[in-house]
Chain A
Amino acid sequence: MKFSYYPGCTLKTKAKQLDLYGRKCLEKLGVDFEEIKEWQCCGAVYPVSKDEVATKLSAVRTLANAKAEGGKLLTLCSACHHVLKRVNDDMKNDDNIRLKANNYLALDEEYAGETDVIHYLELLRDYVGFDKIKAAVVNPLKNQKIGAYYGCLLLRPSETLAFDNPENPKIIEDFITAIGATPVTYAFRNECCGAYVSTTSKDLAVKKSTKVTDSAKNAGAEKLVTACPLCMYNLTENGNGEVPVYYFTELLAEALGVKE
C-alpha cells in the first residue's frame, strides 16, 4: 500500500524537523510513500460556514489527486489534517458543497470524498502498529518523562475527526511508551494553546500556553511532544519556558536511530 504524503506549507519552512524526521522514520519502518504531486496549501483553518466553497477548493484538489494515486492521504501537521479531513467529510456528506466544488473544479472524475485522510500517528497505530515500532527501536528513550500535547485540531469535533477519545486520548501516550519513554498524563493536554490569536491578542495566547506548560511541569513532564507547528510556536514562545517542546517525529527518529 502506497501513501500520498502531504507536507503542507509550514513543514517546508518553519517546521522542517517535523517533515525531515517524519520521512526518515517512514523509510526506516518500510512504509511506502511519495510526496503528493502539485499539492497546495490546505487553507490552514477549516472554513466552518456552510456557504464557503471557494476556500475549500485547494483541499479538494489535494484530496482528488490523492484519490488518483491510490486513495491514502498521509498528513503530519494537525491543522492540515483537520482541514483535509473535514473538507473530505463535506465532499462525502454535504450535497451542496460537493456539487458546487465539482462544478467549479471540473475534474476528469467527480470527487465525492473517496480518499482516506490518515494522520501520521494513525499510520503508526493502525497500519504499522506500536508493537512493531517498539521492536524497531534501537535507542529507547529510557528515563525520559514526556507529556503528550494533543491540542484541539486532531481531536475535535470527534464526530468527524474520529482520531481518539476526545476527552481522554491515549494515542500519543502509547507512542511515547513505544519509543521507550515514560508518558506523563496532565490535565491540560487537550486544551487550546492560544491558536491564531498570538499576534492579535498576545495576552490570551500567553495565558493559554502558560496554563498548558504549567500543568505539564507540575505533573512531572520534562518535555512535551506535539504534531502541530502552531502549538509548537505558542508553547515555546508563549509558555512558561520550562518545558521544551519537540515534534513527535524528532523523538521517533532518535529512538529508531535515524536522527543525525
Chain B
Amino acid sequence: MDRKEQAKLIKERSGTDVRKCMKCGKCSGRCPAYAEMDIKPHQFVSYIEKGEVEKLLESKSLYTCLSCFACVERCPRGVAPANVIEAVRQEVVRAQGGNKVQAEKIPETINEAIPQQLLVSMFRKFNK
C-alpha cells in the first residue's frame, strides 16, 4: 500500500471530514497535552488532508494525546482532530511490532492503588 492509499484509509477510519478545517487553531489552543506534542492536533488534520502520513506515524503525540475530546468540542467546523490522531495511532499499533506497552514490564510501573480501568484503557489505546 502506498502512502496515498494509507492516508485515504486513515481519513476514512477517522470518520471526520478534514477538508472542513479552516485552520483557526482552536483545537491546539485547547489541547491539555499541547506542550508534550511534537505534532499538534491542528497539524494532524492538515497533514492528513495533504496525505503526509510518514511523520504522523512517527509522532510522539500519538502517546501524549489524552483522548479528552476537548479539540472535538471546540472545533467550530465540526472536525474531530482526536479522531484523526486515533486513526493514525491505530495504523501504528495494528502493525506487527507496533505495541507501545510491554505487558511483562507492567508490574514494576504500577502500585496497589491503580484501577483496572487505567490498565485496560492503556492497553486498548497503545496495543493490539
Interface on A for B, CB 8 Å cutoff?
A: 8-10, 13-15, 41, 43-45, 47-52, 55, 77, 79, 152, 155-158, 166-167, 191-192, 194-201, 204, 208, 229-230, 232-233, 236-237
Contacts and interface: CB of A to CB of B under 8 A. Distances in A.
Contacts of A55: 124
A230 B64 CA distance: 17
Contacts of B113: 14, 233, 236-237
Interface SS majority for chain A:
loop
B36 A204 contact: yes
Interface of B: 12-15, 32-33, 36, 63-64, 66-70, 72-73, 80, 82-83, 86-87, 90, 100-101, 106, 109-111, 113-122, 124-126
A24 B67 CA distance: 33
Given A50-B13, A194-B66, A199-B110, A13 B116 contact: yes
A198 B32 contact: no
A232 B63 CA distance: 22
Contact of A152 (B70, B80, B118): B70
B1 to A, nearest CB: 15
A43 B122 CA distance: 11
A196 B86 contact: no
Contacts of B69: 152, 156-157
A157 B68 CA distance: 9
Contacts of B116: 9-10, 13-14
